[in-house]
Amino acid sequence: MKGEPQNFEMILTRRELLEVQIIYTQIDRGENNLPSFKSFYYNVDTTRYFYPASTVKFPMCLLALDKINKLGIEGLEKYTPMFHDSVYGGQLTVIRDTTSESGVPSVAHYIKKILTVSDNDAHNRLYEFMGQKASNDILHEKGYDVRFLHRLERALSPDQNRHTEAVRFIKDGKIIFEQPMLVNEDSIKPPAMVVKGKGYYKSDTILVQKPFDFTYKNFFSLKDQQDMLRAVLFPESVSSTARFNLSDEDYQFLYQYMSQLPTETLYPAYSKDSSYYDAYCKFFMYGAAKEERIPGTIRIFNKVGNAYGYLIDNAYIVDFKSGVEFMISAVINVNTDEVYNDGKYEYETIGYPFFKDLGQLFYQYELKRPRKNKPDLSKFLINYDLERP
């Protein structure tokens, strides 16, 4: 980064204000193609709070698949239609999904929407299925230090977030599995109060001149994010405790939609929506480049987040042509005026260029980095819904 001051001098000199954290992991293969990992950290602190935004959706996908497999009920799978019933304040009834091929919702379709375009409602539907307590307890048991306290893009009270909708899985007119409202009776208490900034807008016109309170918002450290990504992409490289109960087909399903572009997606019909582009939700290497095409030889398996001025990307990047593979995770806070909810976040001028330049920096380094053994990356060669136009 110091070698490219035109791109990174401002980032390096303002790293504390911008709350920059970076993890870069080299991957080398043995003669039997087994991967080994070597990680490098810049300004990383697993206890320092940043708002994880949509990155919490990735573990929610894994938890939902894990739960279905553990239930082991005949006829219950990720494609089984799932319906929600409102039984408490702030809840929603869901009986259809017009974006799916069948017109009905399912765990599989919600995961597709989460991984391809980071759909908020899809995450909330999986939150209802998992429940607040189980989501946190299971991840803690696996060694991940997280706090998942609320749905996304819905202003609900802590009490409402502790209660989740009743859920039914129905196939061929028969109830396969029925789950009543789940209640977390034990309020999850953060270890310390977290406040940030100089002020925040309570409404469009009311500015409160005191720090914004993040204490009861979600928490997901950058290291845990990359560790969880590794547990899915390279499950054999982590302890059995840290893995999720996924089938081989589940892994392939996740690999497809983590790397599939909106322009390659049939259902939902993102390929027909001109507001989506190749680099949508692919911050590393491409930023927010709407006109630039991602080469067909490069695939990015990732999950991004974007809210309150925080930008996060957690990615495994592969170039099949050159035999390059590496992992990179980063976060930056571009709320430089330190006022929240004012809509003045420097995503376009600082955030997206940072991710584009950082991704390209490590990609170019990896192209030159010597490898004893060329990796066999066929595991990550995927057939996508559509051929790219």
The single residue listed with the structure tokens 């129905």 is: 170
Copy the structure tokens of residue 204.
Answer: 């469009």
pTM (two decimals): 0.97
What's the CATH number of domain 5-380, 1.10.760.10, 3.40.50.1100, 3.40.710.10, 3.40.190.10? 3.40.710.10
Is residue 232 within 8 A of residue 244, CB to CB? The reply is yes
Q: Structural domain boundaries of the chain?
A: 5-380
Collapsing DSSP to helix, strand or coil, 352 comes out as helix
Q: What DSSP string describes 250-286?
A: HHHHHHHHHH--GGG--SS-GGG-TT--TTTT--TTT
* Cβ partners under 8 Å of residue 217, min gap 6: 51, 149, 150, 194
CA angle, 61 as apex, 323 and 82 as ends, to 5°?
A: 135
* Per-residue pLDDT in tens (0 to 9) along the chain, 389 residues: 999 999 999 999 999 999 999 999 999 999 899 999 999 999 999 999 999 999 999 999 999 999 999 999 999 999 999 999 999 999 999 999 999 999 999 999 999 999 999 999 999 999 999 999 999 999 999 999 999 999 999 999 999 999 999 999 999 999 999 999 999 998 898 999 999 999 999 988 999 999 999 999 999 999 999 999 999 999 999 999 999 999 999 999 999 999 999 999 999 999 999 999 999 999 999 999 998 999 999 999 999 999 999 999 999 999 999 999 999 999 999 999 999 999 999 999 999 999 999 999 999 999 999 999 999 999 999 999 998 76
Is residue 62 within 8 A of residue 227, CB to CB? The reply is no
* Cβ partners under 8 Å of residue 305, min gap 6: 51, 52, 53, 54, 55, 56, 118, 311, 312, 313
